[in-house]
Structure 1
């Protein structure tokens, strides 16, 4: 019988590429998005689809119950749904911070709690949390987003040991910049802030960064990230963490730099901007 995977955030980008990768590998794929109309073409391609807002407890419970009823198994959970709330800490209202954590940290937690009893009963499973280089290396203007991904990484690290005795593996996939619409939505979230006027330099930096990312410099494709996710699902002994892309690899080491050195690097960036 084919293995079953539940993937969140499949309307575009990494989630869509991941659904296609698992489908090509002959898994039974449950591809979800907040609006199931956004994944209707994936249904035509052979995926099972469902509306799933990861901030909605009832929807999470309903989708997981449906999968268990239809397949009697959940072999893999891919927590991919997320977005970026950028902006200087002072300029981001607390409600926006709460919304960021609801999607990027509490959402995966809801899904993990829902699938774990079924995985434990079967004595096997894979949980794959899609993070970011920001999860370990926060930069100015991205503190809220980085905080949500840091929380996800910390939970993943603790969970990995907690469930190891039940045959369940936990991996984090952490790409650098990805060629998706992520930065565009992040720009929309940024534009909606009421600026204090104290941090215009960082807003200018973000616009320059978007130009670089949209130009493809240092970015990876959604397919490359999807390949890492699929490997985490099928490898006999998957790594705890998958950095994806050159910039992700650099960030793995940059986080060990002393704070004074990092501040000097930020100063250089500010002068450049």
Structure 2
């Protein structure tokens, strides 16, 4: 079996996942990039990255993917749990099946892949699990309750897991991006508009959408490559930090949330979004 370090990146078809796969490959890893949209990963294949289809809501797909990598190399050194999306809309309006899907993709898919890679990492006495959370795992927005709930869950899951796996030489790292120039923002705005149309929250949705639109520009948002560089750093450093905020304004927002009481932070959120 190979002695080359092996990395798996989910959500590799665009944005942060695509740039992370390229960054890890450049750093010398044997990289597997997976996503549902295999046709979107042809460019990665040209860079020597192995790609194949994986759906993080399909257990058989995940099991088969991990078995394939272990059959090829006998090891997995880094798992980057990047697959995820933002589903916005009032709690009252979002169908509960969509809320469940948000958790399936953002939380349970991440958790299941963690389960699947842990035995191999434990056996080899080393490994690194890098979970892509968000500054949205520490603060909140109106009409974003389901999305923020998933990211708060990722934060708590990862913190517990970090202690749980440390005796086996496995590190767990949280990446907390701020606004990033990817498809995420557009998808979130679309779901917000569609879910709220004609209902009690339509006017509120327009204001929230405007905030999301402002955040989706070069003045406020960072590039996916910025996040990828931080992920690669977290994968390579000997003693990684527990979490890495990344992107314009990410550190400032997280410090404000930590220092301000709930009432004061509520005022800021209301003034921004309402």
Alignment-derived partner of residue 156 in structure 1: 158
Query: Is structure 2 residue 169 aligned with structure 1 residue 167?
Result: yes
Alpha carbons 2:129, 2:171 under 8 Å: kept: yes
Once the two structures are TM-superposed, the CA of residue 270 in structure 1 deviates from its matched residue by: 4.8
Alpha carbons 1:30, 1:47 under 8 Å: kept: yes
Structure 1's unaligned 5+ residue stretches are: none
Alignment-derived partner of residue 251 in structure 2: 249
Structure 2's unaligned 5+ residue stretches are: none
Deviations along 1:207-237, one digit per CA (max 9) or x if unpaired, are 2123312322221111110011111111000
Residue 232 (structure 1) aligned to one of 225, 231, 234? 234
Matches within 5 A, 1:1-273: 1-193=3-195, 195=197, 197-256=199-258, 257-270=260-273
More deviation, 38-47/235-244: 38-47
Alpha carbons 2:173, 2:234 under 8 Å: kept: yes
Aligned equivalents of 1:115, 1:196: Cα separation in 2:
45
Once the two structures are TM-superposed, the CA of residue 198 in structure 1 deviates from its matched residue by: 2.4
Q: Please, what TM-score do these two structures have when normalized by structure 2? A: 0.95
Aligned equivalents of 1:240, 1:195: Cα separation in 2:
40
Once the two structures are TM-superposed, the CA of residue 38 in structure 1 deviates from its matched residue by: 1.7
Aligned equivalents of 1:211, 1:151: Cα separation in 2:
26
More deviation, 110-119/185-194: 185-194
Over the aligned positions, Cα root-mean-square deviation in angstroms equals 1.4
User: Which stretches of structure 1, 4 residues or longer, exceed 6 Å deviation after superposition?
Assistant: none
CA 44–270 in structure 1, closer or farther in 2 if over 3 Å, else same:
closer
More deviation, 107-116/247-256: 247-256
Aligned equivalents of 1:9, 1:270: Cα separation in 2:
29
Once the two structures are TM-superposed, the CA of residue 193 in structure 1 deviates from its matched residue by: 1.4
Alpha carbons 2:89, 2:196 under 8 Å: kept: no
Q: Secondary structure at the match of 1:253?
A: helix
Alpha carbons 1:137, 1:254 under 8 Å: kept: no
CA 213–269 in structure 1, closer or farther in 2 if over 3 Å, else same:
closer
